[in-house]
Every structure is written in C-alpha cells, then in structure tokens.
Amino acid sequence: MLVPIALSLTGILEPSEAFSYFGDRWVVIFMGMFIISSAMFKTGFASQIGDMTVKVAGNSKFGLMILVMLVLGLMSALLSNTGATAVFVPVVVAVCLSSDRSPKTMLMPMAFASSLGGTLTVIGTPPNGIINSVLNESTKYSEFGFFEFGRVGIFLFIIGILYMVLIGYKLLPDGVPEGSHGFSNNHSSEQLRSDKMWVGLLIFLFVVISMATGIIDLQVAAMLGAMLTIVTGCLTIDEAFNSISWTTVFLFAGMLSMSQAIEDTGAALLIANMIANVSVSPLIVLAVLFVTTALLTNFMSNTATAAVFAPIGITIAESIHVSPYPFLMAIAIASSCCFITPIATPPNTIVLGPAGYSFKDYFKAGWPLQLITFIVSMIIIPIFFPFN
C-alpha cells in the first residue's frame, strides 16, 4: 500500500491512477482462481490426486520423484502452486517416513516442479499475469495467449524433472528432520466436502476450457467459476474470502502502480538506454534481463520483480527497434524459475520447515538448475518469440 500512497503524495501519479490497479483485470482473475483452487482442495480432489500419485509410484524412489514432480507441476499450471505444494507436503512426508526415506530428498524437487509448472499457462503464476497486464496497459501490443508461456515452460519443466532425477537428487541433503512426523496426520485431519468433488471439478474444467478457448473473457470466467463454487456449496462465503491470498493481491496491485510510474517518469527509458548502450545484440540484452531478474527474484518477491522489469523490457525493445515479446517472456520465466534461496518463491518457502532445509541446501541443489534454465531459455525464447 505504501507504493501507491508514495506515488500519489509525490505527484508521480494521480491518486485515481495509483489506486486503480486494485481493479486490474489480472487482479480479478487471480482472486477468482484462488477461490476455484480452494474448492479443489476443500472438496478433496487435490488430496485424492496426491494419494493416487504416491500409490501409483509405489516404493520406487525415482518413480515417486518423477510422478510427484509431473503431477504437481501440471496442477500448478492450473491451480495455485502454493496450494498444490501445501497439499502434497503431508502426503509425501508420510510416505517417506513410512518407507524409511528422508523427506529431504523429495520436498525440494516438489517445490522446483511447482515453480516450473507455473510457467506452463498464463494463470500458473502471478508474474505471467503482471506481464500481460503491462502489455495490456501499453495498448500497442496484444497479450500472451493462455498457453503461450508454455512454449518455453514445457521445455524447462521436462528438463527440470530430468535434472532432479539424474543429477539433482545427489545434491540433496539426507536424514529425517525433527518434527516431520507431525505432518503424517495433517492430511486426513481436515473435514472435506467429498460429496461436492465432482461438482467442483466440473466448475474447474468449465473455467479452464473457457479461458483456453476464449469463449468467455478470462476475468469473467474466473469470477463466474468462483461464484459457482459458492452457489453449489463447494465453499462457504467465508471460506471463499479466506482462500484469497490477500498478500498476493495487494502486492500485485500495488506494484502495478510502480510499473506504471517507472514508465511515466522516464525511469524505464533511462535503465533501458543504459542496458542498450552496453549491449551489442538483442540476445545480449535478453541475457542481461534474464540474469538480473532471476538474481533479484531470489531475494525479493517475484511479482514485484516482474512489475519493475516489464516496462523496462518494452522500452528497451522499442529503443533498439525489436519485438518486446522475447524480453517480456524472459522476464516472466526468470521471475518464476528461481531455485537458489528458500524465499525466492512460495513453494520454496513451504518446504523449508517440513524438510528442515538450510539456505545452503537450496543453493547447492538449485544453482545448476538456475544455470540450466538460463541456457535453455536463451536458446528456446528467440525461436518461438523472434526479435523481428
């Protein structure tokens, strides 16, 4: 809230504009999707998916890792990746403890898969919504489509799973953390509305299909789905209200005003010119934007980082007369693919306590994947989103 307040008091933005982003279409979309995601968890569908996943994997260590990463990543593309990770934690911890396997070897791969899965769709993670909102505000450019982020994300998702199975697991710590046993009973303790499971699932499928096909506008589809979960009894009004991550909503809306201010004051142009002047090619600019965004995101909110860099990406593209889409895609991907600290993304933070990880554990297992996502992005992004 201090961002729009400061921008209003200093006269950088008119108060009406500074606070207008709380009604931004992407704020509305994410509010709706938080509620729909909660219905998937409250009706027991998400928990059932988790149970089925570990049952199918059996006692195979690598089978469990691959299947959990695959299922959680796909769930994170369509649901809240924070909620999906939270649902899987007690299931996976319980399975690990019952088979004398350390949860430390499973929870970090889960968190990484959740972040990578968010890059598959426009609703998978807030930075994707930020990028589209900035594109929409510019009026010159069309937004990315529902699955367009997935053109790059699918490669990163598959390579991320392969990395953890072939190399990453060797870099994970071992040993059972204190307090892990407390998670074994949490999964079944919550009262679920199992009789509403199929109703919730049908609402969810209706919303996703509507968004993917464009039959209904994204914000209308999200809010219609949210209202249907209440009308049909999947959630109560209080549960729907509490399911919204208000931290994300306020951060999202507040930082969008900062994004506009960076553009209006010429700060974006100043930074863009600095980067453009020291770069000899669009590919170098792409690399600089990716690395800078990823480094900052590892130590601050990925939503805030995306909001700051999105207008800079557009301004750089216009100053060197190339398409802004590869730069914005790099910023979106770099904002989500951060693995070297526990505060980089919500999934990273969720598994910190249950697994008893240290900062060093994230860096040790995460830096190779951070490097891999950078290299793959530099190859894939210009192919699907050319500079000209």
Query: In sequence order, what DSSP letters do the residues of 283-332 get, joined into one string?
Result: HHHHHHHHHHHHHHHTTS-HHHHHHHHHHHHHHHHHHTTS-SHHHHHHHH
pLDDT, tens digit, 9 for 90 and up, residues 126-165 = 899 899 998 988 878 999 999 999 999 999 999 999 999 9
**Cβ-based neighbour number of residue 247 at 10 Å:** 11
| Phi, psi (degrees; rounded to nearest 5) at 100 | 55, 40
Q: Domain-by-domain residue ranges, the chain?
A: 24-384
Number of helices (H), then strands (E), belonging to the chain: the values are 20, 0
**Cβ-based neighbour number of residue 343 at 10 Å:** 16
Task: Provide the whole-model pTM.
Answer: 0.77
Q: What is the pLDDT of residue 180?
A: 46
More confident residue, 100 or 296: 296
**Cβ-based neighbour number of residue 231 at 10 Å:** 10
Query: Helix (H, G, I), strand (E, B), or coil: what is residue 230?
Result: helix
Q: What is the pLDDT of residue 264?
A: 82
d(CA 150, CA 221): 21
d(CA 246, CA 301): 14
Q: What is the pLDDT of residue 359?
A: 87
Query: Helix (H, G, I), strand (E, B), or coil: what is residue 55?
Result: helix
pLDDT, tens digit, 9 for 90 and up, residues 84-119 = 787 778 777 777 776 677 889 889 999 999 999 999
Residue 321, sorted as left (phi over 0), alpha (psi -120 to 50) or beta, turns out to be left
More confident residue, 18 or 48: 18
Measured in Å, how far apart are the chain's first and last C-alpha atoms? Answer: 39
With contact defined as beta carbons under 8 Å apart, do 235 and 38 qualify? yes
| Phi, psi (degrees; rounded to nearest 5) at 258 | -65, -40
Contacts of 327 (CB under 8 A, 6+ apart): 285, 286, 289, 313, 314, 316, 317
- Residue 245 is inside which H or E element, if any? none
- Residue 8 is inside which H or E element, if any? helix 2-9
User: Which residue from 312, 382, 385, 297 is spatially nearest to 345, judged by alpha carbons?
Assistant: 297
